[in-house]
Structure 1
Amino acid sequence: MKKSNINLVATEIIAIDPAIQILKLKERGARIIVGSFYADMAVRVFCEAYKVGLYGPKIVWFLLGWYAENWWKSKSSSVNCTSEDIEQAVDGYFSVEAVIINPKGDVTISGYTPLEIQEIFWNLTNYEDLPAAILGLKGYDGIWAAALALNKTASDLEAKGSERLEDFTYKNADMANLLFSNAMNTTFTGVRGNISFDKNGDLNAMYMISRLQGGQKQMVGLYYSNKIEWLPDTPVIWKGGVIPKDSVTTIKITRELSSSLYIAICCLAGLGIVLTCVFLAFNIGYRKSRIVKMSSPNLNNVTMVGCLILYSTVFWESMSTSTFLACEAKLVSLTVGFSLAFGGLFAKTWRVYVIFTHGTKQKKVVKDKQLLLMVCGLVTINISIIIVWFVIDPFQIVVHQLPVEVNVIDDIEIRESIKNCYSQKQIYFLGCLLTFQGIILLFGVFLALQTRKVKVDGLNDSKMIGVCIYNIVVLSFLGVTVSLTLKFDYDLNYGITSCIIIVATTVTQCLIVLPKITGHFSTPRVHDIDRVGPVNDVPHS
């Protein structure tokens, strides 16, 4: 079997009860089963096969060919299956046995056909049912093989003129070798067909292949000369008209991110980057405009830079399952981008809170440098957690096996897998990051609630900042929930989380910058600080 590239699934030895062995064959997915046992054990085997369903159009059994007719009906009391049950299980099995009489009817070396020789044999035995009488025809071919080998040896010895066949002794190795060589090279047409021997001295016999169909055993083919000849008048009829497969066809698929989805998300992120660059250029170019200056342009620049980094996060996804560096880059860009974008809004809200809700009702000086240091502190804490994470437990690419999909009709088993970034202690470090961001978000919500009633013309974006914080809080919790829930649904996870990042980032910067652009270009003379002259920097006072 190994030389023929046939995989051996299992070998089971049956002692008394075959139940365990049959169940093992079932569990290991055996499709072609070769059974070597007597008929009484075959009844027990097929009773168990019937119980576990190891039969039918997808299962092929090969058995010995010399069982008695209707052998499955001779069941013992220990078998708790009916004859109908066993017949249903054995239907369609193949049997192989050596041919006693060549069905092709070729004339033998004696000048008689196989049937004529059989008739002569029966006449000599008076048609008596002698024990193993069927072996008599095998003996006929054996005598001919021996006679031809001896005859050839006698001729060879006579040609040499050294000694005669009658001079043979068991100490004469040369004559023994010559006799063995002639026997190996003997070939003739016998009762069983063409008689010859292989290199091991075994008979190259003809074998009959039969199949049980509808309770009737019929020959369907012959095996000889290393080939099978299917008989045209008894074609092989498979159940269902389809030749069964020897095993379930397993299709292994590594699920990857949809290229069309990735391109679409990247295009949206690219548009967002362009929009951020436009806003950043406006914020820098018109930083002296009163309406821009009153909204703390330095902090707005920090928020814009954070937005740029957040947009870039979606580009790392297609590479995040290729190298652990991409996994780490994605985490860093998301964390740093969030810290900068939200940190800028948080700092501006903190300034409003300190100035207008301070307990002493005294105006305090809160400079940009102080607020920028606050944002740097947030970024530093996040980066420190990530660095410790990467040092202690760096990312690895692991393969997760998804639930197997089975197509019973086509005998196909689809095994999908997905690659993910993973580290053994990620739940602890991710918990630290999420906890820290959650605390800052909740504090930002508190500040937004405290400053929601502040109405100062100079603080033209205090309400917008509050709306941005609410927007970020809601979408952040939604993004974390989706990311943890749909981590094995690659496309859906990437699509939803990326859209959340893009929407949150775009809404935030639009709420902050668009009012400045509208206000600046709608009344340029009023808001142009160079024309009007110096104004008090209310947020800094």
Structure 2
Amino acid sequence: MTPKTDPPVMLLLHHGSVTETDVIGEITGKLKMIQVATGSSSFTLSQRLVFPYLYRTIGSLLDVITIEVDFVKRFGWTRVALLAEDKGSYKEMSKEVETLLRQSGIEIITSIFYRVEQLGQVMEKLKELDARVILHHASGQGSPLCHVFCQAYKYGLFGKKYVWLTLMQNVKDYRNLASSMHQKGKLSCNAEQVVQAAEGQFIIFRADAKHASEVGYEPKRPFTVKDPAEILREMKEQAWYNDDTRRILYQLNYDAIWAAALALNKSLPRLPPRIITNFKYTDLGTVTDALVPEMNRTNFFGASGPVSFSPHGSRMSWLSMEQIRNGTATLFGIYDQKSRNMTLSEKISLLWYIHGGVIPQSGYRTVRTLLVVADELKIAFTVLAVISIVITVVFLLVTIVKWKTQLIQNSWPLMNSVIALGCIFLAVNVILQGSATQLSSTSHIPCNAFVWLFVTGFTLSFGTMLLKMWGVYRLFRYQQDWGLQVELRMLSGVAVLLVIDILMLIIWQLTDPLVVKDRLLPESRDGAKMVRYQTLYRQCHSGSAMGWAIAFIVYKGLLLLVSVCLVWPTWVMSMKRDAGDSSQVGLAMVIIALATVVGVPVGVLVQEEPNVNFGVIAGFTLFAIIATVLLLLIPKLIALKRGEMEPSLWSPLRPYIEELFDDVGDKKPSRAIENGDANTSDNNQGDGSAAQI
């Protein structure tokens, strides 16, 4: 590695290109020798497995991309385009920042790798996609950026609607650079066109202590080797100092020497005296083991600012934030990589002087509105639902308190209690449905609760009424004896229907449960204000919801069809013979059937209108509940007040019904059934006891 006459090397200081640093870094890695480099910020040199002992006082391109994420978030942009020169490091930078931006919820419009001759097509695509904020990664020598601004000028991607941010550009005077390139025939635009396109755009480069002082960033300093201003004065006195070269490049070399010297000095107590006085290459492993912890703990304030190393050995320091004004890069802020703190020397409004002093938008600003059920509507139906529950509870209390009276026994109290329970389930479902549009997007339990309450409530109420009417129909048609056993048999049929419901719901719950999902309605745009209006409505959804809905509709539809065929003849029979509350149950079934046939299709058609959807479904549901309970309750209250055994709201209509449907029903004497005992009496005089159901 060195001539035989040179002394052995404990540690290597190196300034060179990425290729040189790469080759030497692999060699020092195999030799187990510390290498401190200053000239390459290549992405690949951050691979610690390949370059385990490489440290750089210049930051890696891998580390500087965090400024792009913080810059975008600082100004509230939500969509950006990525543009990168088609070369290894810049492509990797673009890929890495894309990942970080997506993790931060930033939309990536497009990510393009380009060659200079393709820039015309690139600009066409950016304009087509309406890209407003463009993050650019390219060589720091400035020529690619001049080509980009030249094409941006030709395609109109500059001015108050556009923001360009380019990383690691070490050129200060873009007017001179563009003029030189144009004169040599390397640039199709003249200097003024490039300067016009670049006006107000942003670039990032390395910063030093002087930069930080200029913007007022003065953090607490660790150990300081020397005042940075004094170091700079001493450098400028040297013959090799060139004002055309960014001073940071000199400062990085100065800090590399100090980083190595400090690490060597602090590791001396852990090195055997023999190695210090007579070092040999066979001792390199011991020296490196002592140096590595000290290099990792490096923390001092040097010529270029604070010096410390990231876990992959690159410099964590400051970045200068510059804006191109009249062709010249002008400092306006400092970014601290370690703390990710951004300090600006000017008011934010001054940065956007070409944008009218207002932060430009990254595209259409989205204003989202979530459609919810109006509070007035929700309160109104909640009150109605509570009233229906109170009425139902009154009905249950009357049934329980007067359980042993003939009036209640003739109306099948067990089945009426089940009907009341189903009505309560449906009313509770209405109350909960009012808040469905305001559910949390992560709360899925209420969605499934709605379905369970509605399905079981419908079966307990309507299913029980259907089987009750079926029992009445069989009594009249077949003159069967009537008692508690028959009522329990009918309730077992309700239990079968309920089991079918529960099995279907469990399978649905286990295979594809309902979840809260936001649906987006067609959006509208205001071009003048650059606002995109989006309207969302929140609903319970699952992939198989439509299939299960069809299954339940078919299943419940069959029950409705049976009820239509059964209710009419049974209702007429019960009207003629004054059979308990069967006529009221029949009328309630007709109301429920009509409410279902009308309400369900209308509710499906207006799903995108929460107020209408809730109003229709809740309105029909509560109407059916209240009508059912009142039809069952009022006749009993009237009868109890009058002291009648079996009152009927339809008594005044009986002569007309008998005349109109004289051929309907059985002319034989009916059976009087009480407490399970069959007693036959002649009903021809009209004063006997009719069958009480």
**What amino acid is aligned across from residue 17 of structure 1 in structure 2?**
Q
Helix, strand or coil: the match of 1:313?
Answer: helix
**What amino acid is aligned across from residue 61 of structure 1 in structure 2?**
L
- Deviation sequence 1:480-505 (CA, Å, 0-9, x none): 33664566777765565344333211
Structure 1: runs of 5+ lacking an equivalent: 118-132, 150-170, 172-186, 189-193
2:273 corresponding residue in structure 1: none
Q: Please give the alpha-carbon distance, in whole angstroms, between the structure 1 residues aligned to 2:390 and 2:138.
A: 76
1:59 aligns with 2:163: yes
CA contact (8 A) 2:377 2:611 kept: yes
Which one of the candidate residues 627, 637, 641 is aligned to 1:517? 637
Helix, strand or coil: the match of 2:540?
Answer: strand
2:394 corresponding residue in structure 1: 278
Q: Please give the alpha-carbon distance, in whole angstroms, between the structure 2 residues aligned to 1:75 and 1:485.
A: 69
2:113 corresponding residue in structure 1: 13
CA contact (8 A) 1:62 1:96 kept: yes
- Count how many residue pairs are aligned between Structure 1 and Structure 2: 478
**What amino acid is aligned across from residue 471 of structure 1 in structure 2?**
I
CA contact (8 A) 1:220 1:236 kept: no
Which one of the candidate residues 417, 421, 424 is aligned to 1:301? 417
1:313 corresponding residue in structure 2: 429
- Deviation sequence 1:43-102 (CA, Å, 0-9, x none): 456646975968644624348544336959969999999999988754422356899xx9
1:398 corresponding residue in structure 2: 515
Pairs within 5 Å for 1:23-422: 23=125, 31=133, 33-36=135-138, 39=143, 42-43=146-147, 47=151, 56-57=160-161, 59-62=163-166, 64=169, 65=171, 66-68=173-175, 71=178, 90-95=198-203, 135=244, 209-212=322-325, 219=330, 221=332, 230=345, 235-238=350-353, 239-244=355-360, 267-286=383-402, 295-314=411-430, 330-351=450-471, 353-354=473-474, 364-365=479-480, 367=482, 369-370=485-486, 372-391=488-507, 394=510, 396=513, 398-403=515-520, 418=538, 420=540, 422=542
Q: Please give the alpha-carbon distance, in whole angstroms, between the structure 2 residues aligned to 1:434 and 1:471.
A: 18
CA shift in 2, pair 1:496/1:29, >3 Å: farther
2:689 corresponding residue in structure 1: 536
What's the TM-score once normalised by structure 2's chain length?
Answer: 0.50
**What amino acid is aligned across from residue 396 of structure 2 in structure 1?**
L
CA shift in 2, pair 1:84/1:353, >3 Å: farther
Shift of 1:510: 0.7
Q: Please give the alpha-carbon distance, in whole angstroms, between the structure 1 residues aligned to 2:305 and 2:552.
A: 81
Q: Please give the alpha-carbon distance, in whole angstroms, between the structure 1 residues aligned to 2:319 and 2:454.
A: 75
Q: Percent identity?
A: 18
Shift of 1:14: 1.7
Helix, strand or coil: the match of 2:200?
Answer: coil
CA shift in 2, pair 1:335/1:195, >3 Å: closer
Q: Please give the alpha-carbon distance, in whole angstroms, between the structure 1 residues aligned to 2:396 and 2:351.
A: 78
Helix, strand or coil: the match of 2:135?
Answer: strand
CA shift in 2, pair 1:513/1:77, >3 Å: farther
Q: Please, which moves more after superposition, 46-55 or 432-441?
A: 46-55
Structure 2: runs of 5+ lacking an equivalent: 1-61, 70-96, 100-110, 215-228, 259-279, 281-300, 649-673, 675-686
CA contact (8 A) 1:209 1:219 kept: yes
1:504 corresponding residue in structure 2: 624
1:167 corresponding residue in structure 2: none
Q: Please give the alpha-carbon distance, in whole angstroms, between the structure 1 residues aligned to 2:159 and 2:692.
A: 84
CA shift in 2, pair 1:39/1:22, >3 Å: farther
Shift of 1:298: 4.7
Shift of 1:467: 3.1
Q: Please give the alpha-carbon distance, in whole angstroms, between the structure 1 residues aligned to 2:193 and 2:232.
A: 48
Q: Please give the alpha-carbon distance, in whole angstroms, between the structure 2 residues aligned to 1:351 and 1:205.
A: 88
Q: Please give the alpha-carbon distance, in whole angstroms, between the structure 1 residues aligned to 2:645 and 2:231.
A: 123
Shift of 1:537: 3.6
Shift of 1:474: 2.5
Shift of 1:464: 3.6
Q: Please give the alpha-carbon distance, in whole angstroms, between the structure 2 residues aligned to 1:488 and 1:266.
A: 21
Shift of 1:506: 1.2
Q: Please give the alpha-carbon distance, in whole angstroms, between the structure 2 residues aligned to 1:25 and 1:111.
A: 48
Q: Please give the alpha-carbon distance, in whole angstroms, between the structure 2 residues aligned to 1:265 and 1:355.
A: 40
Helix, strand or coil: the match of 2:517?
Answer: strand
- Deviation sequence 1:392-441 (CA, Å, 0-9, x none): 7525353424339799858899897857364x555444433321211111
What's the TM-score once normalised by structure 1's chain length?
Answer: 0.61
1:126 corresponding residue in structure 2: none
CA shift in 2, pair 1:444/1:55, >3 Å: farther
Q: Please give the alpha-carbon distance, in whole angstroms, between the structure 2 residues aligned to 1:281 and 1:407.
A: 58
Which one of the candidate residues 548, 551, 557 is aligned to 1:438? 557
CA shift in 2, pair 1:490/1:111, >3 Å: closer
Q: Please, which moves more after superposition, 254-263 or 363-372?
A: 254-263
CA shift in 2, pair 1:419/1:526, >3 Å: closer
Q: Please give the alpha-carbon distance, in whole angstroms, between the structure 2 residues aligned to 1:364 and 1:426.
A: 45
CA shift in 2, pair 1:2/1:468, >3 Å: farther
1:120 corresponding residue in structure 2: none
Helix, strand or coil: the match of 1:9?
Answer: helix
CA contact (8 A) 1:31 1:246 kept: yes
Shift of 1:39: 4.7
1:130 corresponding residue in structure 2: none
Shift of 1:17: 0.9
Shift of 1:449: 3.6
Computed over aligned residues only, the root mean square deviation of the Cα atoms, in angstroms, reads 6.5
CA shift in 2, pair 1:497/1:392, >3 Å: closer
Q: Please, which moves more after superposition, 313-322 or 374-383?
A: 313-322
Shift of 1:380: 0.9
**What amino acid is aligned across from residue 403 of structure 1 in structure 2?**
L
CA shift in 2, pair 1:459/1:244, >3 Å: same
Q: Please give the alpha-carbon distance, in whole angstroms, between the structure 1 residues aligned to 2:414 and 2:144.
A: 93
**What amino acid is aligned across from residue 460 of structure 2 in structure 1?**
L
CA shift in 2, pair 1:335/1:220, >3 Å: closer
CA contact (8 A) 2:602 2:616 kept: yes
CA contact (8 A) 1:418 1:488 kept: no
Q: Please give the alpha-carbon distance, in whole angstroms, between the structure 1 residues aligned to 2:612 and 2:641.
A: 41
**What amino acid is aligned across from residue 520 of structure 2 in structure 1?**
P
Question: Which gives a bigger RCO, structure 1 or 2 (Cα 8 Å, sep 6+)?
Answer: 1
Helix, strand or coil: the match of 1:13?
Answer: strand
Helix, strand or coil: the match of 1:402?
Answer: strand
Shift of 1:315: 6.0
CA contact (8 A) 1:397 1:419 kept: no
